[in-house]
Chain A
Amino acid sequence: MYHDNDRSKIFTRRALMLAGGKAALVGTLAARMYYLQVVESDKYTMLAEDNRVSIRLLPPPRGLILDRNGIAMAINQHNYRVLVVPENTPTLTYTLDALSTIITLTEHDRARVAKETKRRRSFMPITVRENLSWEEVARIEVNAPDLPGVLIDVGQSRYYPLQSLGAHILGYVSAVSENDLTGDPLEELPGFRIGKGGVEKIYDMALRGRGGTSSMEVNAVGRVIRELERNEGEPGVDLALTLDMRLQEYAAQRLGDESAACVVMDIHTGEVLVMASTPSYDPNSFNRGLTADEWKDLSTNPRSPLQNKALSGTFAPGSTFKMLTAMAALEAGAMTPDQRVFCSGHMQLGNIKFHCWKKGGHGAMDLVGGLKNSCDVYFYEMARRVGYEKIAEVARRFGLGGFTGIDLPNERPGLIPDRAWKKKTLKQPWHPGETLINAIGQGYVLATPLQLATMTARIANGGLAVEPHVARDLIQDKSALPRPTPDWPSCGMAQKHIAWVRKGMFAVSNEPGGTAFRARIEQEGMWLSGKTGSAQVRRISMRERESGVKKNDELPWKERDHALFVAYAPEDNPRYSIAVVVEHGGGGSAVAAPIARDIMIEVQKRERARMAGQVGGNG
């Protein structure tokens, strides 16, 4: 028995040692538990919430776009989609077969559904078809008992009810591309559209609104268990434009099939009432998706329907530039308004002959006569005396050769060339002859119709540097504030010089013999003063000049002159300015001026009707 006691002692001693070891291990477990559940608890609580809560974005409705009278230009339409939840349908192919007897499903649709079914979890709905008609929705709803797992979902899609009217100003919306990402979480939403042109692009952020969020409790495989919290977003701001779509419609009709542009603006506020560019396109087709043929037609059409010619088209302003040359000469004191220049049909500078458009010449011309007859020789002489740099300076002060600052994308600055520019881009010195050519709006000078309307507005409002805009309100961040009363800086031109130029423009449209006399407005109080322009787009050779310059209708379209006309009205108390440019239209007086006249009559009629309506309404 002795050894048994011995063993018992060893056993007891070692049992205590082993128990001590186990106690230490239990202590480790307790310490670890304390570390995880107390020390690190916050971290794990957060991670657990991350696991559990999935936040989904709720897209806000995009702001509407309205014209100045509240006519809807861009709205949101319900886009009915049919979805299928594979988990809830016993046999997907059978359900799709049943569905295809009710609505048309292409092979492509079916293949896509089959593909997505494999890729996604079975409780996630898959879009079968979009843009269902109301009738198709009704048919699906009626047959719902036979279509397990099929459901209808309503999304929003942009619709432009006026179709091609005002398309260039509106722009369009389309899917977000890699380059458009700004960090707005909405951009991550499948099917989210952003503005890609026009005001849709410029005011995209305000139109978008702020996305709401919905916190969902999800399980480990992502199935939604319940909604924990919902935070409604803010719908996009409704955008009111300064455009009058009824005038716009009239202008577009009047421009017809020509490749042309027309801008009408308020000379005091800078509000653009009409900005038409023809031909146009239907922005809805972009949303719907263009076919390859449609896209080819649009993008290769020589009359470039996709371009907003009112601000992206640059044209030689031709004789509409002559007011600027005149004001430069008067301001520099190079000539007085009464001083006469004799036009013999051309002017000799060095050994080059510079021709007037009138072969026999105009005889003795003063400022008013020079503008009224658009006598080139008179302005050659002015330019020769004042020098080109002064003309360029005045042109810039009146809004040419730079951005007008309009709230639309893709504006082009045009060009007021000078010595430095020519040296830099063409690596050539300035020739004295180029002074004469550019002074009558030919040569390198380029301007957009919007710039010409702005220039005319600045002349008509007494030399204030008005800037055009299309949004009625001032959009800041995501809210619309009323615009403050405009306080435009001066262009720095003396009133008397402007008065002389306006006298000349009056003569153009209202005195017999004026280049636009035939396109005058006879209604009392609506008289318009303007200036014609015909910008040559080809060089007239010496031989052609001897044998007789070809008439425009004898030439191919691409070689015809651009027809231009700028004007303001009413003459006694100017309110509106207009610029019409008909690309390769022929002569300004024959083509552009009558269009401008008709539009200006319509503008003023609408104005009178509105005033009468207001008076009546108030009375």
Chain B
Amino acid sequence: MLRPTPRLGSHLNRTEMGWRDKIWQINWSLIAVLASIACVGFLTLYSAAQGSLEPWAVKSMVRFAMGVGIMITVAMVDLRFWMRHAYILYLVSALLLVAVDLRGTIGMGAQRWIDLGFIQIQPSEIMKIALILTLARYFHGATYQDVGRPLFLIPPLLMVLAPIGLVMKQPDLGTAMMLLMTAGAIFFMSGVRLWKFGILIAGGLGAIPVAWQFLHDYQKKRVIIFMNPDQDPLGAGYHITQSKIALGSGGIFGKGYMMGTQSRLNFLPEKQTDFIFTMFAEEWGLMGGLFLLALYSLLTAFGYAIAMRCRSQFGRLVALGMTTTFFLYFFINTAMVMGLVPVVGVPLPLISYGGTAMLSLMFGWGLVMSAYIHRDLPIGRRGAHDD
């Protein structure tokens, strides 16, 4: 348990805080870590464009600035507001996912975007947040005994499986995996018995052959190539092989900033998006890679500290769920470019070029920040300030 700082400890009752009070509560260290990671991203995007702010670095900076704005705005909002609107947000997200399936436009061979005219939104990104909020709300009111009852677990299980099914249909294997694992973490944190996880994992493994049938050819290919990338070095295995070559040739200290030959000569695919970590590690070597890993771990630790300091179960679950999602982003991405997991198209959080992921991640950190600001706020079972 973290001890509150003396100054903060003096304001124990935070039921009715004004926005001025809240601004003082913002955890600026967390923002500093986020900004550090984002800066690594700007530097790398500048290098990816061969020493130019265009076309990626500047846009990424603008987006990060917008993201910080969104984050602070979200953090200012009362945690109880998010709890009260969790189910509605979930429902809207689910409907948007259905809409994507029905009339979504085709992007990268998968239906992921919905075009509202003025903005293109990716419902699966919204769902990542909505699912966390919805599960947190569901488990917030549950006692330890409730969680022990199997029937009690059926509604949240359906809440998880429905969006996963919709996302798989797009198809977006990476997001489906992340939804599943984040939900798993929330179930786990809510006190679901370990043996139940055992049954679910066993069932899941048993379902793999069935799920295999539903995978698209390109997804099957990715998995097969992942098992043996050398089989097809110029075809589908090209990404993994080239990524390992670029990374490995970086060595301990790297080739130097803006001197990564493999990425500069375009041997490395998608160097500004999914494979940006490879480019960074080619130029900065093992030292750079470990530094970035340390930054991500520090951010994760912040999330855990906030979650454990939080008084309400809802705040704890939201903070931990968001932190887990973030962790999965960077773990899956780095493991993917190092050939540890199949290529599933998950960006490196806050660094990869791409608008939606950046904004939705900052929204998520806004919720974590909100949980921090409202850490001492007691929330009743139905969202009231007291039981």
Q: Which residues of chain A have a CB within 8 Å of any CB of chain B?
A: 1, 3-4, 6-8, 10-12, 14-15, 17-19, 22-23, 25-26, 28-30, 32-34, 36-38, 40-41, 43-45, 47-48, 51-52, 217-221, 225
Beyond A29-B338, A37-B281, A43-B248, whether A52 also contacts B286 by CB under 8 A is no
Most buried by B among A29, A40, A225: A29
**Pairwise interchain contact A40-B248, C-beta atoms closer than 8 A:** yes
- Interchain residue pairs with CB less than 8 A apart (15): A6-B144, A10-B144, A15-B304, A22-B327, A25-B331, A26-B296, A29-B331, A33-B247, A37-B248, A41-B251, A51-B262, A52-B267, A217-B265, A218-B265, A219-B266
Identify which of A12, A19, A48 contacts B245 (C-beta below 8 A).
A48
- In the complex, chain A residues whose CB is within 8 Å of the CB of B273: none
- In the complex, chain B residues whose CB is within 8 Å of the CB of A51: 242, 245, 262, 265, 267
**Pairwise interchain contact B1-A12, C-beta atoms closer than 8 A:** yes
Decide if the interface of chain B is mainly helix, strand, loop or mixed.
helix
Known: A37-B286, A47-B245. 11 other contacts (CB 8 A): A12-B1, A14-B189, A23-B297, A29-B293, A32-B340, A33-B293, A41-B248, A41-B252, A45-B251, A51-B245, A218-B265
Beyond A29-B331, A30-B290, A220-B266, whether A44 also contacts B248 by CB under 8 A is yes
Q: How far is the CB of B296 from chain A (nearest CB, A)?
A: 8
**Pairwise interchain contact A15-B244, C-beta atoms closer than 8 A:** no
**Pairwise interchain contact B251-A52, C-beta atoms closer than 8 A:** no
> Which residue from chain B places its CB closest to the CB of A29 in the assembled complex?
B334
Q: How far is the CB of A614 from chain B (nearest CB, A)?
A: 64
**Pairwise interchain contact A18-B188, C-beta atoms closer than 8 A:** yes
Beyond A29-B331, A44-B244, A217-B265, whether A7 also contacts B251 by CB under 8 A is no
**Pairwise interchain contact A36-B300, C-beta atoms closer than 8 A:** no
**Pairwise interchain contact A221-B245, C-beta atoms closer than 8 A:** no
- In the complex, chain A residues whose CB is within 8 Å of the CB of B335: 28-29, 32
Q: How far is the CB of A25 from chain B (nearest CB, A)?
A: 5
- In the complex, chain A residues whose CB is within 8 Å of the CB of B293: 26, 29-30, 33
**Pairwise interchain contact B189-A15, C-beta atoms closer than 8 A:** yes
**Pairwise interchain contact B1-A7, C-beta atoms closer than 8 A:** no
Report the interface size for chain B: residues with CB under 8 A from the other chain.
46
CA of A371 to CA of B144, assembled, Å: 132
CA of A29 to CA of B285, assembled, Å: 14
Q: Does B324 contact A (CB under 8 A)?
A: yes
Identify which of B1, B144, B262 contacts A48 (C-beta below 8 A).
B262
CA of A29 to CA of B251, assembled, Å: 15
Q: Does B313 contact A (CB under 8 A)?
A: yes
Residues 225-268 of chain B, each 1 if its beta carbon lies under 8 Å from chain A, else 0? 00000000000000000101111111110000000011001110
**Pairwise interchain contact A14-B191, C-beta atoms closer than 8 A:** yes
- In the complex, chain A residues whose CB is within 8 Å of the CB of B276: none
**Pairwise interchain contact A33-B286, C-beta atoms closer than 8 A:** yes
Q: How far is the CB of B324 from chain A (nearest CB, A)?
A: 7
Q: Does B16 contact A (CB under 8 A)?
A: no
> Which residue from chain B places its CB closest to the CB of A10 in the assembled complex?
B191
**Pairwise interchain contact B248-A22, C-beta atoms closer than 8 A:** no
Residues 305-338 of chain B, each 1 if its beta carbon lies under 8 Å from chain A, else 0? 0011000010010001000100100010011001
Most buried by B among A6, A32, A44: A44
CA of A400 to CA of B269, assembled, Å: 72
**Pairwise interchain contact A36-B244, C-beta atoms closer than 8 A:** yes
CA of A470 to CA of B19, assembled, Å: 104
- In the complex, chain A residues whose CB is within 8 Å of the CB of B313: 4, 7, 11
Q: Does B289 contact A (CB under 8 A)?
A: yes
Most buried by A among B245, B251, B297, B327: B245
- In the complex, chain A residues whose CB is within 8 Å of the CB of B13: none
Identify which of B249, B300, B308, B340 contacts A12 (C-beta below 8 A).
B308
CA of A596 to CA of B185, assembled, Å: 107
**Pairwise interchain contact A33-B249, C-beta atoms closer than 8 A:** no
**Pairwise interchain contact A33-B185, C-beta atoms closer than 8 A:** no
> Which residue from chain A places its CB closest to the CB of B140 in the assembled complex?
A7
CA of A36 to CA of B289, assembled, Å: 11
Q: Does B105 contact A (CB under 8 A)?
A: no
Q: How far is the CB of B378 from chain A (nearest CB, A)?
A: 8
Q: How far is the CB of B180 from chain A (nearest CB, A)?
A: 15
Q: How far is the CB of A229 from chain B (nearest CB, A)?
A: 15
- In the complex, chain B residues whose CB is within 8 Å of the CB of A48: 245-246, 248-249, 261-262, 267
- In the complex, chain A residues whose CB is within 8 Å of the CB of B144: 3, 6-7, 10
Q: How far is the CB of A123 from chain B (nearest CB, A)?
A: 14
> Which residue from chain A places its CB closest to the CB of B296 in the assembled complex?
A26
> Which residue from chain B places its CB closest to the CB of A34 in the assembled complex?
B286
- In the complex, chain A residues whose CB is within 8 Å of the CB of B266: 219-221
- In the complex, chain A residues whose CB is within 8 Å of the CB of B217: none
> Which residue from chain A places its CB closest to the CB of B188 in the assembled complex?
A14
**Pairwise interchain contact B308-A15, C-beta atoms closer than 8 A:** yes
- In the complex, chain B residues whose CB is within 8 Å of the CB of A22: 300, 327, 331
> Which residue from chain B places its CB closest to the CB of A44 in the assembled complex?
B248
> Which residue from chain A places its CB closest to the CB of B143 in the assembled complex?
A3
- In the complex, chain A residues whose CB is within 8 Å of the CB of B189: 11, 14-15, 18
Identify which of B1, B307, B308, B338 contacts A36 (C-beta below 8 A).
B338
Q: How far is the CB of B257 from chain A (nearest CB, A)?
A: 16
> Which residue from chain B places its CB closest to the CB of A43 in the assembled complex?
B248
CA of A7 to CA of B320, assembled, Å: 15
CA of A23 to CA of B297, assembled, Å: 8
**Pairwise interchain contact B265-A33, C-beta atoms closer than 8 A:** no
- In the complex, chain B residues whose CB is within 8 Å of the CB of A19: 300-301, 304
Q: How far is the CB of B214 from chain A (nearest CB, A)?
A: 27
Q: How far is the CB of B104 from chain A (nearest CB, A)?
A: 32
Beyond A6-B144, A47-B245, whether A37 also contacts B307 by CB under 8 A is no
